[in-house]
Amino acid sequence: MDTKLSLHLYRTMLLARRVDEEAVALQRQGVLPAYAPMRGQEAAQVGSASVLDTSRDFAFPTYRELGVALALGVDPVEYMGTHVGAWHGGMYDPMTTRFAPINAVVGGAVTHAVGWAMGADLDGTGGVAMTFFGDGASSQGDVHEAMNFAAVYRLPVVFLCQNNGWAISTPTSRQVAGGSVAARAAGYDMPGHRVDGNDVLAVREAVRQAVARAREGGGPSVVEAMTYRLGPHSTSDDPGRYRSAEEERDHAGRDPLTRFAARLRESGTAEADLTAAEEHAAEVVARVRAELSSSGDRPGEELFDFVYREPTAALLEQRRQWREDHADA
């Protein structure tokens, strides 16, 4: 095991866990209007994203890929800025970070990734698209069309399914025929790999092979990371209504963060290094809280900017009325 790499992966996973916990707290306190927690999926996200080459590859996330964002170097305050409900969404630069804007359409990012991959293939850049989606999204027609299109044209795409066991309140067994997303890859004449999504090194290796294959012209692959959503689907969800406490306790014992920390200790990693990782995460979390809490509201008049290249008469009238209504505000 590469000690330096493993410690870096652990630090990123730990940071994702702590920022995620803080985001839930901020939502409960009214700073964020809503949030989709990713606790339990740190290994699947950090392990897969760590393979990408940010000089030429691109990641296409859903609304739950905090770990991917951090692994690609996205500033956590800028990432969380997407969740404050401002008109501009996040503050990070997708072109610099190679992390596309957050996509709340179920399965929507998958088609975007395939389109980007076709452009990369035509340009000959050697770039690879990696798209993230859940087991629930795998039932969307868009995902079928994207996989079929990518396979027909042998595009450089890695389809990364995080199978966290639940499509909101519907278990995988009731919405994925056959129970395996990876097995579907055979129908598109592409490799499909199922991997322990709670083992960051196993995820990294499976994705490394898929990325290398895509980069060498071998076409797309499906990697299904079997993990578990330890928290709710979103901050408006109550998982206690559809899954048992016993099930949650069982999966908590397979927590990817605690598992990897134990593995690092067994391999000789100093306790001081793990403590330093906690201290670093605490510093970042404090900055996230301070900067998000003090960010303030965007000027209301911006609601009318950047809607159309040339504003319509109706939009101009709405802006005029808004100015009148807020003249004394």
Q: Which residues are part of the catalytic machinery?
A: 229, 233, 242
What sign does the CA torsion over 315, 320, 323, 325 have? negative
Question: SS3 of 49, please?
Answer: helix
Q: What string of DSSP letters covers 232-298? A: -SSTT--GGGTS-HHHHHHHHTT-HHHHHHHHHHHTT--HHHHHHHHHHHHHHHHHHHHHHHT--PP
210: phi then psi, degrees, rounded to nearest 5: -65, -40
| CA–CA gap between residue 155 and residue 40 (Å, rounded) | 31
Q: What string of DSSP letters covers 187-217? A: GGTS-EEEEETT-HHHHHHHHHHHHHHHHTT
Which has the closest alpha carbon to 159: 69, 223, 72? 223
From first CA to last CA, the distance across the chain in angstroms is: 61
- Six token digits for residue 31: 């700073």
The partner residues of 226 in beta bridges, in order of sequence, read 163, 196
CA distances from 77 to 65, 95, 230 (A): 14, 17, 23
Q: Which residue type, as a one-letter code, is found at position 206? A: A
CA distances from 282 to 26, 165, 237, 260, 276 (A): 15, 30, 27, 19, 10
